[in-house]
Amino acid sequence: MDPAVGGRPRTTDPGAWQEAYQRYARLDRAELGPEDLDALADAAWWTCRVDEAIAARQRAHAGWLRAGDARRAGRAGRLLYYDYLYRGEETVAGGWLRRARRHLAAEDQGQVPATYRHNYRRLVEVKRRHDPGNLFRLNQNVHPASLPAAAPTR
């Protein structure tokens, strides 16, 4: 991000967002990278320029995809979901939500081997043997507080 632009305000003060928007308005938008486009989208949204926010966020989303950053593309897609809901375009919003979920799921899959490190291969074998249909692919944790209290052991 260009330090001269100053980035996003860390406040909900309308004056700060207006100032941030004005800084971005002076720049050549064709030259902005995805991080700056995200910041422009936020500033436009907070200053009631929803159409402009959507246009900037869609360009940011495309930029994150080109950069191979699925997590940030997913975040941009999730925010586009809310932007379109705000405009009352539920069908388009739903499309962005599905797209965001796909990006984030792909990112999560890339993290799985790193999370389990040296146990990953062993876990794959257990999964292959005991859950070949991938029944347990959805994380549906049962919170311990929801279980009946166990009888005390002697």
Spell out the domain ranges in the chain: 14-132
Please tell me the distance from the alpha carbon of residue 37 to that of residue 55, in angstroms, as a whole number. Answer: 9
Which CATH class name applies to 14-132? Answer: mainly alpha
Write down the pTM of the prediction: 0.64
pLDDT tens-place string over residues 27-65: 888 889 999 999 999 999 999 999 999 999 999 999 999
SS3 147: coil
Largest pairwise CA distance in the chain: 75
pLDDT tens-place string over residues 83-105: 999 899 999 999 999 999 888 88
Query: Using CB atoms within 10 A of its CB, is residue 102 exposed (0-12), middle (13-18) or buried (19+)?
Result: middle
